[in-house]
């Protein structure tokens, strides 16, 4: 059982993201489920993780992989039942794993009862006021209320047909048409989400990852904004985009924090906000959220100077407000880092790669990814890891067009493939047509490539040098040496494209493509992501050692 008197667990935690659709399928229908997660929690505990974060498993039409929530306080039938959820939490806690669930407060599904009620009600009604409905522009209202673009391409507005059959108002959706944005200026919306927080806290969850939390408040008057947002959002000519990072979000976070703090132990809030560290640091000030994803870190290319600058900026920004820094390299929205680093030069994080696109160098990508992970796990703070990265899984770049599920594929007119390549169901065993994802061999919801078997958990367990054993060793050492806490000190004399620092008496050298770095005579190597060459750390390799 996690120790409820430990009030700082989250400051240094290693947190494993489970994407439930693709983790493990216990009922054999081709889609993962909650009993599948429960049945494989020992895999996560044995890796040396402290917590799991589970992406949405709520009732949903799955137009955006469950981030289109139709009912915030229930479990979707394809994932199981509330009892299954309770079993999962119970088993996780037995294994000393804390459980973080996903809260999606910016928008819901158009199938949510409140949105259906809003469609059935009149303009200006309390039902409509829960969302962002506006009249269109022009004499006949055919022009959207402003020029905002959806994150999934196309306009951020959709026009409805009123109950009397006439063409009517427009509603705002920063994402898919099926994901109407809530109106967070409305106290009724706030009250309902507080109920949701309490619902899951009462079921003993240890925290929430808060989806798109920086978009919940929009600038008054919804001023036009012609720019398309991609990646970490920065002001343009000194102006903050009217849909991101508005001052009003902080009041909400304070209210939520008070709710969490009224529960036993420490329950945490983690912000998903694609903002620079200086801005996410404002979300983790005293009395607000506990931590925020560090997407600036994820965005860095394999280049020592840039990585170092981001580490410094992140630590400084978070230290200034007394919050821990977090680190992340992969999640369900971006190309897996084992493939990202297999390109030289920038890649589109969320656009997807098809069979006709330039392919990543898989061997180089994995070598760099292992080095990048060992670097990340040596940094002070909390680390988020995404299911399958412990297997060295590459992005799947061979998905046929007809299986693509990301809404961006349709919305872009079949130009942008989207994020399915990092969401392919996990291989647990080398044998079998679904590589152990289920036992019925029912086809997986996204097809697994033939080569997935070589990455399977059973193919790597106990195999020296495998990526799985590397993760296990790194996470175990990280815990033993308490690397999540404390300070780091850069070495004074690192060569070009090398990152070198100490954590107490531990030395870390990440050779980010520089000349081989000689280790001191008699160095005791604790971890190496590739073989040393004549006692030196070769390019694209990270080593932890004691001098
Ligand atoms: C977040 C989720 C992403 C989803 C989007 C809209 O960025 O991580 O998967 O599509 O929010 O909910």
**Running along the chain, 547 residues long, what does each successive block of 10 average in pLDDT?**
94 98 98 98 98 98 98 98 98 98 98 98 98 97 97 96 96 98 98 98 98 98 92 94 98 98 97 98 98 98 97 98 98 98 95 97 98 98 98 98 97 97 98 96 96 98 98 98 98 94 98 96 97 97 97
**Ligand 1 centre from 325 Cα, in Å?**
22
Instruction: Please report, for residues 54, 401, 500, 510, the alpha-carbon distance to residue 522 in angstroms, rounded to integers and kept in the order given.
Output: 44, 55, 18, 19
Best substitution site from 56, 60, 63, 67 to test ligand 1's pocket, by max atoms within 8 Å of Cβ? 67
Question: Residue 54 is inside which H or E element, if any?
Answer: strand 51-54
Kindly report the protein residue whose alpha carbon is nearest to atom 7 of ligand 1.
Answer: 212
**Ligand 1 centre from 210 Cα, in Å?**
10
Q: Tell me the three state secondary structure of residue 498.
A: strand
Q: How far apart are CA 225 and CA 155, in angstroms?
A: 12
8-state DSSP, 255: H
In sequence order, what are the residues at sequence separation of 6 or more whose Cβ sits closer than 8 angstroms to the Cβ of residue 200?
73, 101, 208
**Ligand 1 centre from 211 Cα, in Å?**
6
Q: Which atom of ligand 1 is nearest to the CA of 333?
A: 9
DSSP string, 256-275: HHHHHHTSSS--EEEE----
Kindly report the protein residue whose alpha carbon is nearest to atom 4 of ligand 1.
Answer: 67
**Ligand 1 centre from 492 Cα, in Å?**
41
Which residue's entry shows tokens 């599948």?
36
Q: Is residue 382 within 8 Å of residue 291, measured between CB atoms? A: yes
Q: Is the pTM of this model over 0.75?
A: yes
Q: How far apart are CA 71 and CA 159, in angstroms?
A: 23
Q: How far apart are CA 461 and CA 463, in angstroms?
A: 5
How far is C-alpha 216 from the geometric centre of its chain's CA atoms? 18
Phi, then psi, of 206 in degrees rounded to 5: -100, 0
Q: Which atom of ligand 1 is nearest to the CA of 174?
A: 6
Q: How far apart are CA 344 and CA 514, in angstroms?
A: 15
Own/partner pairs, 255-260, CB within 8 angstroms, 24+ separation: 255/190, 255/194, 256/194, 256/197, 256/289, 257/287, 257/288, 257/289, 259/194, 259/197, 259/198, 259/201, 260/197, 260/201, 260/207
Which residue's entry shows tokens 């920004």?
317
Kindly report the protein residue whose alpha carbon is nearest to atom 5 of ligand 1.
Answer: 67
**Ligand 1 centre from 227 Cα, in Å?**
19
**Ligand 1 centre from 532 Cα, in Å?**
40
Q: Which of 103, 100, 113 is nearest to 50 (CA)?
A: 100
> Given this model, what pLDDT does residue 62 score?
98
Q: Is residue 103 within 8 Å of residue 208, measured between CB atoms? A: yes
How far is C-alpha 543 from the geometric centre of its chain's CA atoms? 27
- Around ligand 1, the residues with Cβ closer than 6 Å are 64-65, 67, 104, 175, 211-212, 272, 332-333
Q: How far apart are CA 335 and CA 395, in angstroms?
A: 6
Q: Which of 236, 243, 341, 232 is nearest to 292 (CA)?
A: 232
Which residue's entry shows tokens 């999934």?
152
Q: How far apart are CA 517 and CA 507, in angstroms?
A: 13
**Ligand 1 centre from 230 Cα, in Å?**
13
Whether the CA torsion 405, 396, 48, 372 is positive or negative: it is negative
Best substitution site from 230, 333, 416 to test ligand 1's pocket, by max atoms within 8 Å of Cβ? 333
Q: How far apart are CA 116 and CA 120, in angstroms?
A: 6
Going across the sheet that includes 133-134, the strands are: 133-134, 167-172, 157-161
Q: Which atom of ligand 1 is nearest to the CA of 64?
A: 10
- In this structure, the dihedral spanned by the alpha carbons of residues 27, 32, 36 and 38, taken in order and rounded to 10 degrees, is -140
Q: How far apart are CA 332 and CA 328, in angstroms?
A: 12
> Given this model, what pLDDT does residue 441 score?
86
Half-sphere exposure of 168 (CA within 13 A, CB side): 18
**Ligand 1 centre from 270 Cα, in Å?**
14
Per-residue pLDDT tens over the stretch 351-377? 999 999 999 999 999 999 999 999 999
Q: Tell me the three state secondary structure of residue 496.
A: coil
> Given this model, what pLDDT does residue 228 score?
81
**Ligand 1 centre from 107 Cα, in Å?**
10
Question: Residue 544 is inside which H or E element, if any?
Answer: strand 541-546
Residue 479 has which token pair?
């815990």
In sequence order, what are the residues at sequence separation of 6 or more whose Cβ sits closer than 8 angstroms to the Cβ of residue 491?
500, 501, 502, 507
Whether the CA torsion 127, 133, 136, 142 is positive or negative: it is negative
State the pairing for strand pair 207-210/98-103.
Answer: parallel
Q: How far apart are CA 222 and CA 212, in angstroms?
A: 18
Q: How far apart are CA 466 and CA 455, in angstroms?
A: 9
Best substitution site from 212, 216, 292, 410 to test ligand 1's pocket, by max atoms within 8 Å of Cβ? 212
């Amino acid at each position: 059982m996690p120790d409820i008197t430990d009030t700082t667990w989250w400051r240094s935690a290693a947190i494993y993201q489970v994407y439930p659709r693709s983790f493990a399928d216990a009922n054999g229908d081709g889609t993962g489920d909650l009993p599948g997660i429960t049945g494989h929690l020992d895999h996560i505990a044995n890796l040396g993780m402290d917590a799991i974060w589970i992406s949405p498993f709520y009732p949903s039409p799955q137009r955006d992989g469950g981030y289109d929530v139709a009912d915030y306080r229930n479990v979707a039938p394809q994932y199981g039942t509330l009892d299954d959820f309770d079993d999962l939490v119970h088993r996780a806690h037995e294994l000393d794993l804390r459980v973080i669930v996903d809260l999606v407060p910016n928008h819901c599904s158009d199938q949510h009862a409140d949105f259906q009620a809003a469609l059935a009600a009149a303009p200006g009604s309390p039902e409509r006021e829960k969302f962002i409905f506006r009249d269109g522009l022009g004499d006949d209202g055919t022009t959207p209320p402003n020029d905002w673009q959806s994150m999934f391409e196309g306009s951020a507005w959709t026009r409805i047909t009123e109950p009397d059959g006439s063409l009517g108002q427009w509603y705002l959706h920063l994402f898919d048409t099926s994901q109407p944005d809530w109106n967070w200026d409305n106290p009724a919306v706030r009250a309902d989400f507080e109920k949701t927080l309490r619902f899951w806290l009462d079921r003993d969850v240890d925290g929430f990852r808060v989806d798109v939390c920086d978009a919940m408040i929009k600038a008054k008057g919804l001023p036009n904004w012609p720019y398309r947002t991609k990646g970490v959002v920065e002001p343009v000519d000194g102006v903050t985009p009217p849909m991101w990072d508005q001052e009003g979000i902080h009041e909400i976070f304070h209210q939520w924090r008070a709710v969490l703090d009224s529960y036993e132990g420490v329950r945490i809030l983690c912000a998903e906000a694609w903002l620079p560290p200086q801005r996410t640091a404002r979300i983790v000030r005293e009395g607000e959220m506990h931590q925020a994803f560090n997407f600036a870190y994820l965005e860095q290319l394999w280049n020592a100077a840039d990585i170092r600058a981001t580490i410094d900026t992140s630590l400084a920004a978070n230290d200034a407000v007394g919050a821990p820094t977090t680190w992340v390299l992969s999640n369900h929205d971006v190309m897996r880092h084992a493939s990202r680093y297999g390109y030289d030069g920038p890649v589109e994080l969320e656009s997807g790669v098809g069979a006709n696109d330039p392919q990543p160098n898989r061997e180089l990508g994995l070598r760099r990814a292992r080095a990048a992970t060992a670097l990340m796990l040596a940094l002070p703070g909390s680390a988020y890891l995404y299911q399958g990265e412990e297997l060295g899984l590459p992005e799947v770049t061979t998905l046929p067009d007809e299986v693509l599920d990301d809404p961006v594929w349709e919305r872009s007119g079949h130009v942008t493939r989207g994020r399915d390549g990092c969401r392919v169901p996990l291989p647990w065993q080398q044998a079998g047509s679904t590589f152990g994802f289920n036992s019925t061999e029912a086809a997986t919801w996204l097809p697994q490539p033939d080569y997935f078997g070589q990455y399977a958990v059973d193919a790597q367990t106990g195999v020296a040098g495998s990526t799985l054993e590397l993760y296990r060793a790194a996470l175990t050492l990280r815990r033993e040496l308490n690397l999540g806490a404390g300070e780091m000190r850069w070495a004074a004399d690192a060569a070009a494209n090398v990152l070198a620092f100490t954590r107490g008496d531990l030395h870390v050298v990440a050779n980010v493509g520089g000349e081989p770095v000689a280790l001191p005579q008699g160095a005791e190597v604790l971890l190496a992501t590739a073989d040393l060459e004549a006692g030196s750390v070769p390019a694209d390799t990270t080593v932890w050692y004691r001098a």
